[in-house]
Structure 1
Amino acid sequence: MSSRALRRLQENSLEQSLAKLGSNEAETESNDDYNRQKAKPVNIFALMAGDDEDEKDSESDHSQSDKDSKEMEPFKTVEKPKPVQSATNSQKKKKSRKNKKDKSAKTKASEVTGKSRKLNEDSAGESDEELDRMLEQFRLRDLAGKKNSLESKLENSDESEGDFDTANEVEDDQNNDPDASSSTDPGFTKFDSFSEYERIFGLIDMRKLNPDNEYKLLFDDLSAESLADVDSMTSTHVSPQVMKQIDRLKHMVRNWGGKDHKTVPNGSTTRRLAFTKIRDDWIPTARGEFVITQLSRQELKDWNAWQRPQDWIDEIERSIKKWEKAGINFFKFEPANPELTRKSMTEFYMSVVLHPDHEALIGLISSKFPYQVPALLQVALILVRQGDKANSNGLVERALFVFDRALRSHIAFNGTSCQLPYIHFFNRQFYFAIFRYIQILSQRGAVATASEWCKVLWSLSPLEDPLGCRYFMEHYLLMNKEYEFMIQLAKSPLINTYADWYTLGMALGIVFSYLKLGLKDSARSELRKAFYHHSEALRSIFVEGGLGDESVVAGLESSEVSPDSVVETKAYLIRMKVLWRGPELNFLYDELFTLFSELKSGRLSTKPSSTFSAESPFFIDGMHVNLLRFAVLSQESPLMACIPEHIWSERDVYEFDVLPPQPHGRETEDLIESVKSFVSENDLTMTRMEMMQDENLLNQITQMSLEQFLQENPNAGPDE
């Protein structure tokens, strides 16, 4: 315990003791021998004295004839016990010099013994005993406090391993509420553990985002020549004539491709691609379609004001300061050529929304705008429905290439270096391209690469999680046997800060991971936690998943089941049988049977079903919008059928932009980007007029042809 803390705790007692020393000055001269025996306790007090007021006591009002009278002088009054503190300061300085440790120890011992002898000549026996008792109490309290602090730290580390607190992380008791919902906290202000970003996403390696590395591990005999042949293949079907034209363009555009197919020009600079490779059928261009820019502080305020319309501006600024302190950077993709982008987006909007025309859309990316991302993703879905998955995959890879070309070289997907707010239209296109690519990788069997891309998708906005990574990514992690990573998530605030972050998939994925690592007790404990939060979902899984008979759970049906739980349960049932087999499935049956029995007997309680009525941009009629987006993007018919019909009819559910964020009013219309933000109204009007004229002309031609036919064939009328 420091001297400063000692004075604060027992200032009154210390002053009283020193006062007694001053009043008993006459008696101390006759007790010289006795005081020499008590020199050691007073020496302890001298060592514990403060050192922050030494310089103020260098002057004395009395002349001092020798060193002994100078040291004894301060104890004649209560106000100035300073020379003893000065001695302590010199001792501390000597003690810090490790290279002179032995010499310092001897000098200090001799000085302290001399000073104690002289101090004791002016102290009383009764006062010394009182000081001894007081100092012993201080010492015992200090040791007890340190012991309790150490035990508390050990307990916390055992219960929650990996919770790292930094100076800028202040967590309140309300953050530990297991039933807290993000519906009442749209700004996610209860989450302060920003060090979790680096712990969870810091291990993402750009090289792992290329499936070629996984194929090398899967096929040991895969030669470099074989991989080179794969790289030289076209991503889509093109004719030989078109390939010759592309080859001529390659000679005109410098720095396109290179030996490893990863070099690309981007204006006046050359960009090294991070996670994509250029295919031979991609048309060379001298500049990319996008540039990535960092959001200004005002843009961050506007974005937060849209998320949290009920909060004061001071609270919003406080959140922004926390992000800045944690080193989090926010970016958005913008068109490098706004005029050209406006023209291409106008044609896209006409071909998809106003007058759907698949042929016109395919022609748009074949000749005019080969790197128009929304059109690439839309045509890719059209080809999937037609059964042409090979060409569809190539279009998705081309869309990812557009974003890879725009990224800065220092940007990494670690949760802090690059976050992309979902309110920006082309940011959303990057999210959709990654989601589609994850589906392609899983179909190809590259589960390790798919799991790595899931982490990337989550890292772009870990708190908002706009495409609902928490609802599906555990499937890819477990398929890749990343059980330790799942257990890391079990103790992470990224899924424990809010109850709705602890999704059914994450909960059962953690149970499965403990089982695979042979930790059955931990698996039981985690399953009980999952049962508390998702009892109704586990009841459905027990029956519909074929685990047990419906009579086991008879009478446990909930009268109110949230729509979220229905969609989430259906999504898990679709992929459950891939993982839960054999001993793991038997364990799940036995433990759920026990839990349902305890629930029937009243020995176990569960979290009551709740619906979210608070106004939040992340909910639609009480349902998580990210769960709805995941359901639509999954293209699973049973899952999409669970979405309420009014959402399909009242909301924008375009495949190129599923359930985009909605403005609160006119003041946020310009803030929330949509496809219309990049459409020219004048060009749109002119195009619609031209289409109407073409339709009228076509109708006139059809009518004239019909009249001419009737004139030439008068008996061709309808039979009477």
Structure 2
Amino acid sequence: MSSRALKRLEKQRLEASASNSPVPEEVEEIDEPIVAKPKFNAFALLNDDDDDDDSEEEPEQEEIEEEEKKPQPVVIEGEKDKEEDFSDEFIEPSPSPQPSTTKKKSKSKKKKNKKKAQNKEKDKQEEEDHDDIDKILAELSVKDKKIHIDEDQEDMFDFEAELDLESDASPIGFYDSNFKYFTSSKLKASLPLLSIKNIKNLDADEEFKTLFGNLSNETIEDANSTTALAISPEVLQQFRKIAKLTRGWGGNDRRNVPGTSRKLLISKIRDDYLPTAQKPMSMEEINELDLNEYLQYKEDSAEDEELQFKIKREFELGVRYFRFSKINTVNERVANTKFYASVVLTPDHESLMQLLQQYPYHAETLLQVAMVLLRQGEHKSTSNALIEKALFVFDRSFQKRFHELLSGGNSELIRLPFEGFLNRQFYICLFRYISALGERSAYFTALSYCKFLLALSPAEDPLGVRYFIDHYAILSEEYKYLISLSSSPLCCTYIQWLTPGIAYSTVLAYLYLNDESKAIEQLKLAYHRFPYTAYKLVELIGLSDPLPIQESDISITVEDKITAETYLVRFPLLWNDPHKKLFLQEQLVKLFINDPIKKSKSKGVAQSIYSLLGFKNSQDDTKDIPFNLIRFVILSGENKLMAKLPEVVWSRDDILEYDILPPQRNTKINYDEHRGIMDIQRPIVDSLIDYVDQNLLGAIVQNHSSTENEFDRLLQQFQQQLEERAPPEIQD
């Protein structure tokens, strides 16, 4: 039914109602329903019933306006709800409007989809606008933060820049406790000189392949299978059987250890190494907060903010700090106690050998026995093998990040504070291994280990690597490296960082590179910096008679005599070319004649860091000897060098062969107010005595005169007592 018919019927109904006349039958049939229904059905379907209309293409708003213009039916007020309910019932039974309803739904769906598409496009545009705004705000925020960071760094950089200017003008003549003049920019410039580049450079077998061609695997395997100590074939066979039963031990490359998939880096497993799955020690990384305590412990001049900035900049460069730690087991405490008694209380080499058999992986015992055999002079090969075994003990204990850095050749990013007892043992192990490599003529490998050892603490250099690194640089023909080192911040920041060896060996490096003019220029620098060494070199060469000056014409300190001797003992091996030796002689004589040294001319005197920590000698002529120089002299074992040390040095009670001049001990104590107790934390500087069982040690002292059998019985008794006292998790 069209809209025109509906309008006509509605008009007739209204007229009949006004005149009280009867409504036609057509109207009567639909009269009642029209009152109740038209609002929800008839008018809702008006546009669908008019097929001739073009309303499908009209906008929805026009349809609404047209529908509002139509006369509305009268609806009884109380039947509104019924009307709504009836409308719901009216839709289903109506058969005629089905096609029209489908058409309506399709049309309505198109309109809704179109509207939704428009809304989505609008929302999308709004989201893009919001995203652009957020992006702009984020960029502004990042830029603002960057500005603040740059401002902060600029402020701190100004602080370091001032120090750089001061140290660039002239080397610093004193040591501050944390070497603040060795700034982050100087460290960054020095990192390439501390890098081993490739982990293979720490493998002597790789150098031997380069020197002697491609060695066969059988030859290398035969060398690696040699035993450290005399061992019977029966015991060796038992070790091999245990190795097969110990999963992950050795492998084809002799670098597998149980409990980890990581390979050994600086050692290999030999046949006489007892297979075991238990590590003798552990390693941990030192975080920034704990590292600040290390620096605060020895600080004397820098502010806390300066220390924090120093730590932050080092961590930004990728530098990481580590520390070896002992595993607190019963056997380990017994081994420590017996070692302390055999070395400190009553030195006894035989008991050390027995201790090594009982505890084959006790690092301190391995290093001490190796030194005893080295002094005897007849067991160098055995001594070197024991040092390699100690190196294996440390190697298998490397922490994961430490292992990753070293395996990547990034030795310049690894630090081991000298305050840790086992860290100091690792230093000594590397020092003695370098000497062993030199005896085997593996000079390039030895130089790589020198870089590694110096990188562990480049500023402090606790074992004095600067006093011998030039030796291996010349012998390995790494002349350009030595030249770069001598002019780097590693040698120019502080006065004592430039040693006679580096200064005069750089002259030799220029000569090997056929650059005589640079050699003369470098010789002048070395002459003015170390005139006493120059005088002794002319005297040692012996081609000038008489000498142009006398020794009394030069101002000489005890340190000058010692440092000069560190180079003189190695001079004949380095300057073995007669032409180069003649050049050195002639040029030094010219300098003494044309540019004489005035006795009154003084130089800056650098104090040892440990002097600042309370390790000062009583005599004025020895108080300023750097402790790293003393350690180097003692560890070198050179009689001429050790004879130069003042007697007061040998009278110290901290000159121990296994731990030479350790840093000053400290104990950090925190008081807990809530619990009312003292919390004693692990000290920054620890020593062997911290890992000794005092009860067992006291019994050993009291029974010092007992026979060997009684001592062993006493030891077993105390070991049982320790096992009973030990918690279950640390019992073996």
TM superposition score normalised by structure 1 = 0.69
The verdict on how the C-alpha distance between 1:276 and 1:652 changes in structure 2, with shifts beyond 3 A counting, is same
Cα offset, 1:670, TM superposition: 2.5
2:465 equivalent to 1:474: no
- State the alpha-carbon separation in 2 of the partners of residues 657 and 459 from structure 1: 20
Amino acid at match of 2:652: E
User: Which of 663, 678, 681 is 2:691 aligned to?
Assistant: 678
- Of residues 574, 578, 581, the one that matches 1:579 is 574
Q: Is the 2:286–2:323 contact (alpha carbons within 8 Å) kept by the matching residues of 1?
A: yes
Question: Which residue number in structure 2 is paired with residue 54 of structure 1?
Answer: none
Residue type of the partner of 2:696?
D
SS in 1 for 2:644: coil
> For residue 164 of structure 2, what is the aligned residue in structure 1?
172
Distance 1:390 1:450, change over 3 A: same
The question of 1:635 aligning with 2:628 is answered: no
> What CA deviation, in whole Å up to 9, does each residue of 1:9-46 have, x standing for no partner?
xxxxxxxxxxxxxxxxxxxxxxxxxxxxxxxxxxxxxx
For residues 415 and 221 of structure 1, the distance between their equivalents in structure 2, rounded to whole angstroms, comes to 27
Partners in 2 of 1:167 and 1:276 — Cα distance? Answer: 45
Where does residue 456 of structure 2 map in the other structure? 460
Deviation at 1:222, TM superposition (A): 2.9
Letter in 2 for 1:465: D
| Displacement after TM superposition at 1:539 (Å) | 1.4
1:224 aligns with 2:217: yes
Whole-angstrom distance in 1 between the partners of 2:590 and 2:342: 57
Distance in 2 (CA, whole Å) between partners of 1:167 and 1:232 is 57
Q: Which runs of 5+ in 1 are unaligned?
A: 1-165, 699-720
Compute the displacement of 1:639 (Å): 0.5
635-644 vs 527-536, which deviates more? 527-536
Equivalence for 1:687: 700
Which SS does the other structure have where 1:293 is aligned? strand
**1:505-540: CA deviation from partner (whole Å, max 9, x where unpaired):** 111111111111111111111111112211122112
- Partner of residue 215 from structure 1, selected from 186, 208, 214: 208
CA distance in 2, matches of 1:691, 1:487: 56
380, 385, 389: which is aligned to 2:375?
385
Asked if the contact 1:662/1:672 (under 8 Å) is kept, the reply is: yes
- Secondary structure of 1:631's aligned partner: helix
- Aligned equivalents of 1:168 and 1:231: distance in 2? 53
Report the equivalent of 2:484.
488
Matched, 1:260 2:260: no
Letter in 1 for 2:261: T
1:359–1:342 distance in 2 versus 1, CA, 3 Å: same
SS at match of 1:333: strand
Residue 534 of structure 2 corresponds to which residue in structure 1? 538
Contact conserved, 1:191 with 1:493, CA < 8 A, in 2?
Answer: no
Contact 2:532/2:564 (<8 A) preserved:
no
Secondary structure, in 3 states, of the residue corresponding to 2:451?
A: helix
Distance 2:601 2:706 in 1: 65
In structure 2, the residue matched to 1:418 is 414
**What pairs up with 1:264-283 in 2 under 5 angstroms?**
264-266=257-259, 269-283=260-274
Where do residues 132-211 of structure 1 align in structure 2 (5 Å cutoff)? 170=161, 172-184=164-176, 186-192=178-184, 193-211=186-204
* Shift of residue 605, structure 1, vs aligned partner: 10
1:531 and 1:606 in contact (8 A); partners too: no
CA shift, 1:427, in A, is 0.5
Of 349, 365, 372 in structure 1, the residue corresponding to residue 356 of structure 2 is 365
Tell me how far 1:378 sits from its aligned partner: 0.5
For residue 285 of structure 2, the aligned residue among 269, 288, 294 is 294
Query: Does the CA contact (< 8 Å) of 1:470 and 1:506 recur in 2?
Result: yes
**Aligned match of 2:121:** none
**Partner-residue secondary structure (3-state), 1:552:** coil
Compared CA separation, residues 254 and 669, structure 1 to 2 (3 A): closer
**Structure with larger Rg:** 2
Query: CA–CA distance in 1 between the matches of 2:352 and 2:445?
Result: 31
Structure 2 residue matching 1:551: 3-state secondary structure: coil
- The percentage of aligned residue pairs carrying the same residue is 34
Q: What is the root-mean-square deviation in Å for CA atoms of aligned residues?
A: 2.7
- Between the aligned partners of 1:479 and 1:616, the Cα distance in structure 2 is 36
Judged with a 3 Å threshold, the aligned counterparts in structure 2 of structure 1 residues 499 and 349 are, in CA distance, closer, same or farther, namely: same
With normalisation by structure 2, the TM-score equals 0.68
Extract unaligned runs of 5+ from structure 2. 1-156, 617-622, 670-680, 712-732
SS state of the match for residue 450, structure 1?
helix
2:657 to 642, 655, 658: 655
Give the Cα–Cα distance (whole angstroms) in 1 for the partners of residues 221 and 709 of structure 2.
54
Question: Aligned partner of 2:363: which letter?
Answer: V
Conservation of the 8 A alpha-carbon contact between 2:175 and 2:494:
no
- Report SS of the residue matched to 2:282: strand
Q: Distance in 2 between matches of 1:357 and 1:423?
A: 28
**Count of residue pairs brought into register by the alignment:** 528
> One-letter code of the match for 1:628?
I
Q: Distance in 2 between matches of 1:689 and 1:308?
A: 41
Query: Once superposed, which parts of structure 1, at least 4 consecutive aligned residues long, lie more than 6 Å away?
Result: 166-169, 664-669, 695-698
Distance 1:484 1:378, change over 3 A: same
Could you tell me how far apart the structure 2 residues matched to 1:544 and 1:194 are?
A: 37
**Aligned residue number for residue 564 of structure 1:** 559
Q: Distance in 1 between matches of 2:606 and 2:459?
A: 20
Residue aligned with 2:335, SS: helix
Secondary structure of the residue aligned to 1:226 is helix
Shift of 1:290: 1.9
8 Å contact from structure 1 (residues 307, 617) kept in 2: yes
Which residue in the other structure is 1:148 paired with?
none
User: Aligned partner of 2:521: which letter?
Assistant: S
